Structure 1
Amino acid sequence: MPLCNNSSCDIAVAVALLFTGALYICFSSRLISDPIADLQRSVNNQRRTKFPVDELEAALDRAAAGNNKTVIIAMVNKAYVEDVGVERTMMDLFLESFWQGEGTLPLLDHLLMVAADQTAYDRCRYRRLHCYKMETDGVDLEGEKVYMSKDFIEMMWRRTRLLLDVLRRGYHIIFTDTDVMWLRNPFSRLSNNGSLDIQISVDGGHAINTGFYHVRSNNRTINLFQKWYDMRLTSKGMKEQDVLKKLLHSGYFDQLGLAVGFLKTTFFSGFCEDSTDMGAVTTVHANCCVHIPAKISDLTLVLRDWKSYKASHVNTKWSPHVNCRRSWKDTHYTPKH
């Protein structure tokens, strides 16, 4: 007796063929290379990569907690945390600006101080901040590194390498030099909707300054920082800021599809170009200045001017940056070690 009649056997065969065909299409489609899909899978896998919970990761996690994976990073060494003969330290002034600024005190919870030596790390811990001691591979980064000296350039490149590592770990960064006074919460002046990859301060016009910038972690910015850091090998004697300018003017930013915002000096001021509006100024950077004692003297006046403004709300001119102007002619200056 047959197991099935002709019609039922035909239906069974047809169903089996359809099922086999569906399985073939399913598995063969996975074998066919789709460049766009492969790239997207690669990006997603990179983002899911788990970094080891080392000291840096632990420090970043603490500092970025509750702040959408955004961390404020500043770098200090012994020269920035010890008295250089002007009673206060650069770190003292930097932290005081957060206390004196409008809406800035809570931001200390998201500040990570990167120490280049043990003295700076110990002082950071004493101030009960989020601290990380950067690996320096035996290079001495302790004393003051005068602008454009060999050690200054080396320190800037070490900083760039660290920030590249932070971006790779998926953290967004606000980097700030320690000679930047935070007078207002900058988040209200920054685009935080993801439309800009980098927002960077300027000395005037589009002359970028790497003393203050906001960078989002994504493939474009990671590629930029990798290229930037790699160029140190062919840019002997150039500081990292000039190399970044070179990349910008070469069109490399455009090649990566980077969206860049330049922060106006009205809001993100500096000694190169003062903001004329104390009612709008957010940060003040002691750029266009050579050494630490001059910066401390003139930034002390900045905080004094700021306190006067807060008491009166009368917009006045900043005190002249006399010591910083003189620092360019101070050829006999010897850094303290």
Structure 2
Amino acid sequence: MRELGLRKWQSLSLAAAFFIVLICILLFHSSDFVRSGNRRRILLKPPASLSEREKWDQVLRKATMPDRTVILTMLDEAWASPGSIIDVFLRSFKVGEGTERFLNHLVIIPMDSKALNYCRSLHPYCFYPSIFSHNLRFIAQSRNPNHNVFIWKRNYVLLQVLELGYNIIFTDADVMWLRSPLLQFHPQNELTISCDFSSYKRRGGDVQGGGLFFLKSTAISIEFFKYFNFMKVLYPNSRVNKSLCSYIVQSEDVVAAYGFRVQYVNTTYFGEFCHLDKYQFREVYSMHANCCEDLRSKVYDLKLALHDWARFRAHSSDNYTSKPTPFRWRAPNKCLASRHE
């Protein structure tokens, strides 16, 4: 009986001691809060991801159009140096017909520190989501790491921007903006995109895009892209998930289930090196340097395309009432040669 009473007293003593220590800790933090006035703010400080979202929002607010639409492109170090892809890309806005104003709404997303430094020397709106390089390293194990990392980062960016309530015109940096594509976009739909359906059988189920599409920020598009990103986690090497066009075309049941409305734009308006109509000067809005892996050849042919476009515009303005001259694209030139090597 005496032993039982001793154990009970020891238990009560330990409980009392724990309670006293807890009270001391609470009093210490309470007094520190009273002294500094910052304790609560420190304890409730949002995580780094929220802070990054706030920075995102600051950049997007500066670049947005009146209807909360922003233009996004992504850039890595291979495309970020004097005379590289990004230089030609930015020049296309100045050479294009009514496109220079869109530079005020363009946000460039560098994928590494070198691209960030070069972007800042060229353009006012550059945002580097540094968290990507830490969270997505495991994708380097995939069969095609460069492409998969790009798709992952792009989809992550798209989802973040959609969640912030901004509509997106996404453009690859190897797309030349020759005319304003806004007239071809349909804001009542979640997605407006140009897909090359002729490549479906030729490329084993892959459907290539024109390198430029419009995304509307709605609850449907946000949920759809969450699902799309989830599929990339489950099947990182799937050919279906390789491009947005491939996924949309081969996942019609998912698209329908989400009510994700898609508008396909005629590829005549969004030209590409893969299937270039040599005489489409009067219809084309953009030109995508796809089907060209060699970087030097890509830059050369993009410059060639811009030169042809400048010649066409100069001739059209000088001879507005005369019979149209059948201008032809000289590009692709080197890209075409490299494909047959």
* TM-score bracket for this pair, using the shorter chain length: 0.7 to 0.9
Q: Which shows bigger deviation, 55-64 or 307-316?
A: 307-316
Q: How do 1:56-67 residues align onto structure 2 when only pairs under 5 Å count?
A: 56-64=56-64, 66-67=65-66
| Displacement of 1:274 | 1.8
Distance 1:289 1:139, change over 3 A: farther
Amino acid at match of 1:254: A
The answer to whether residue 173 in structure 2 is matched with residue 174 in structure 1 is no
Distance 1:231 1:124, change over 3 A: same
Equivalents in 1 of 2:229, 2:75: separation in Å?
20
| Displacement of 1:292 | 2.0
For residue 189 of structure 2, the aligned residue among 188, 196, 204 is 196
Amino acid at match of 2:227: K
The answer to whether residue 118 in structure 2 is matched with residue 123 in structure 1 is yes
Q: How do 1:45-124 residues align onto structure 2 when only pairs under 5 Å count?
A: 54-64=54-64, 66-83=65-82, 88-124=83-119
Amino acid at match of 1:236: P
The answer to whether residue 298 in structure 2 is matched with residue 295 in structure 1 is yes
Alpha carbons 1:270, 1:286 under 8 Å: kept: yes
Alpha carbons 1:76, 1:116 under 8 Å: kept: yes
The answer to whether residue 258 in structure 2 is matched with residue 256 in structure 1 is yes
Superposed CA deviations along residues 13-34 of structure 1, whole A, max 9, x for unmatched, are xxxxxxxxxxxxxxxxxxxxxx
Alpha carbons 1:196, 1:261 under 8 Å: kept: yes
Amino acid at match of 1:325: L
TM score, norm. by length of structure 2: 0.72
Distance 1:291 1:271, change over 3 A: same
Alpha carbons 1:200, 1:208 under 8 Å: kept: no
SS in 2 for 1:308: helix
For residue 282 of structure 1, the aligned residue among 281, 285, 294 is 285
Alpha carbons 1:210, 1:241 under 8 Å: kept: no
SS in 2 for 1:321: coil
| Displacement of 1:119 | 1.6
Equivalents in 1 of 2:280, 2:248: separation in Å?
32
The gaps in structure 1 that reach 5 residues or longer are: 1-50, 331-337
The number of residue pairs the alignment matches comes to: 268
| Displacement of 1:203 | 2.5
| Displacement of 1:228 | 1.0
TM score, norm. by length of structure 1: 0.73
The answer to whether residue 148 in structure 2 is matched with residue 157 in structure 1 is no
| Displacement of 1:139 | 7.5
Distance 1:279 1:171, change over 3 A: same
SS in 1 for 2:134: coil
For residue 272 of structure 2, the aligned residue among 270, 273, 293 is 270
Equivalents in 2 of 1:257, 1:140: separation in Å?
29
| Displacement of 1:179 | 0.2
Alpha carbons 1:202, 1:262 under 8 Å: kept: yes
Alpha carbons 1:67, 1:110 under 8 Å: kept: no
| Displacement of 1:67 | 2.8
Alignment root-mean-square deviation, CA: 2.4
Distance 1:293 1:158, change over 3 A: same
Which residue is 1:138 aligned to?
Answer: 134
Alpha carbons 2:195, 2:267 under 8 Å: kept: yes
SS in 2 for 1:278: helix
The answer to whether residue 334 in structure 2 is matched with residue 323 in structure 1 is yes
Q: Which shows bigger deviation, 194-203 or 96-105?
A: 194-203
Which protein has greater RCO, CA pairs closer than 8 Å, 6+ apart?
Answer: 1
Amino acid at match of 2:303: T
SS in 2 for 1:137: helix
The gaps in structure 2 that reach 5 residues or longer are: 1-49, 201-206, 317-324
Which residue is 2:247 aligned to?
Answer: 246
Distance 1:278 1:204, change over 3 A: farther
Alpha carbons 1:269, 1:284 under 8 Å: kept: yes
Q: How do 1:197-216 residues align onto structure 2 when only pairs under 5 Å count?
A: 197-204=190-197, 207-209=207-209, 211-216=211-216
More helix by share: 2
SS in 2 for 1:126: helix
Superposed CA deviations along residues 24-71 of structure 1, whole A, max 9, x for unmatched, are xxxxxxxxxxxxxxxxxxxxxxxxxxx76622111111111x431000
Equivalents in 1 of 2:166, 2:88: separation in Å?
27
Superposed CA deviations along residues 200-226 of structure 1, whole A, max 9, x for unmatched, are 122345835172100100011111111
Q: Name the % identity.
A: 29
Alpha carbons 1:198, 1:214 under 8 Å: kept: yes
Equivalents in 2 of 1:308, 1:165: separation in Å?
40
